[in-house]
Each structure stands twice: as C-alpha cells, then as structure tokens.
C-alpha cells in the first residue's frame, strides 16, 4: 500500500518506516499519525516482519516535531483528542510485541522525540539534536513525552528538558541514557540493521515475552514484576523454540527457530 507521508518497505524480516515530509523536516500531522497507525497494525500481524526500524527522509531530520499549521488551530476539545490519538498510536508501537529501533538521523524534537521514546531502542547520528521544546510554544508534551522521558532518564532529566525546551546533542543524549549508541551519519542505518539482525536470530516468542516482561514489569513493584517474569518464563518452556534452542546448544549448532 502506498502512503502519502510515510515510506514502508520490508527487507530481510525488517520493516523500514521512513517519515517522508522532508520539506517540513518530517513534521508530524494527523495524516502521518494515521498512516503510522495503519502500518503498525499491519506489521503486528505480519510474520515476515520481526523488527521495525524508524527513520526520517533526508539528512536533516528524523521528525522535527508537530506540524505547526495544524497545532496553531487546536481547541481544548480537538487538542485533547489529538493528544489521545497520538498516545494510542505510540502505545501500539511500544507494545507491538516486536522490537522497534529509532535511527535518529537529525532533529528529533517534540513529537519526534516522543516517537523515538516509544521505540524499544534509540540509535543516533552524531549530528542528531533531541529535545522537548513544547513550552516554547506555550504548550506541553502531548504524545507521552513527559511520562516516558521521566521513566527512561529520571525526573530530573525530564524536568530539565521539558521545562527549558532546549535541544541536546547526540553525545549528551547518550550520557543521560536517552539513546543507546551514537554513530557517524553514514554508519547509522547499517548499525540499526545490524542490531535488528542480531534480534532476528533469536527465538520470536522469547523476544516477545522478554519485551512484555520489561514493558509491563517496569510499571509494577519489583516483586510483581518478578512474578510476571516467572510466569512468562514458564510459558516459554512450553514452546517448540525452547526445545530447539536447548538442543541446538547441546549439539553445538545454530538454532532454527520457528516462532512456535
């Protein structure tokens, strides 16, 4: 299916999602979020897709924030609905059951930073700039940025970035734990693909259960999180991939996982 604001292609069990509005630095509008939602629903059911990589078209921007022309005409009612819809799309990305990697190739500001925060991992180009500048426009984060940023990097970091609205460099984002790794621009997508391929070699159900343990467990008291982990561990022993994985280890050969 062709999309107006996104490019989507599948290759080697990786789904590549590219925000494709380079004339406006890939700014998010309603249409873009609707298309992203459609892709995520399709990818969830597509057995040929094991990992998603999200990036931006062009060399300047991952996603430079919201489309200001849409933002400027929001009302209290439409603004709340817009935020709730965006949150639902990013919740779907975060809980897809398939890992997602943000390849941040430039500006990741406002909604762009929030998209990256909803991904499982974040890799950044050395030229990337990240931030939550909403307060400079008289608003606050609307797609979950205040919540995910505080959980990922701590309340102090979230307060600083969200209250000053200042951009930070990729190296600073690495220092505070906002991104996992920083690469030269030409190395960014190859690094994202290499990480995706490492994940793909592992058992699909084990990957899914591990993500569920982390995503749900982080919101629980530790004892409850450990109980969830134990339950998922028990479930993982009942599938064919566990038999194959342990047998392959003992036979000193690569495992051939089937996701069953």
Q: Measuring CA to CA, which residue among 54, 151, 50, 37 is closest to residue 97?
A: 50
Q: Is 114 among the catalytic positions?
A: yes
Using alpha carbons, select from 63, 7, 9, 12 the residue that is nearest to residue 194: 12
Active-site pick, 134, 160, 229, 251: 134
**Residue 160 among the catalytic residues:** no
Task: Tell me which of 114, 166, 184, 193 is the catalytic residue.
Answer: 114
Report the number of secondary-structure helices (H) and strands (E) in the chain: 11, 10
- Residues that are catalytic: 114, 134
């Amino acid at each position: 299916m062709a999309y107006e604001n996104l490019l989507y292609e599948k290759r080697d069990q990786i789904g590549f999602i590219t925000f494709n509005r380079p004339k406006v630095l890939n700014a998010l509008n309603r249409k873009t979020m609707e298309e992203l939602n459609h892709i995520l629903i399709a990818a969830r059911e597509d057995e040929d897709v094991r990992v998603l990589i999200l990036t931006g078209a062009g060399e300047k921007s991952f996603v430079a924030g919201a489309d200001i022309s849409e933002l400027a005409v929001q009302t209290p009612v439409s603004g709340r609905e817009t935020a709730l819809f965006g949150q639902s799309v990013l919740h779907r990305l975060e809980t897809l059951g398939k890992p997602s990697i943000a390849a941040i190739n430039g500006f990741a500001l406002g909604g762009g930073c929030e998209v990256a925060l909803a991904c499982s991992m974040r890799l950044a180009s050395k030229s990337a700039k990240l931030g939550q500048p909403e307060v400079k426009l008289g608003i606050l984060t609307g797609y979950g940025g205040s919540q995910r940023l505080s959980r990922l990097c701590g309340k102090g970091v979230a307060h600083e970035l969200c209250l000053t609205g200042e951009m930070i460099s990729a190296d600073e984002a690495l220092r505070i734990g906002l991104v996992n790794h920083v690469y030269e621009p030409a190395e960014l997508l190859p690094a994202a693909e290499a990480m995706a391929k490492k994940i793909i070699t592992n058992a699909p159900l084990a990957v899914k259960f591990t993500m569920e343990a982390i995503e749900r467990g982080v919101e629980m008291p530790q004892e409850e999180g450990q109980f969830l982990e134990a339950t998922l561990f028990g479930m993982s022993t009942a599938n064919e991939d566990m038999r194959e994985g342990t047998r392959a280890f003992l036979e000193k050969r690569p495992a051939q996982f089937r996701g069953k």
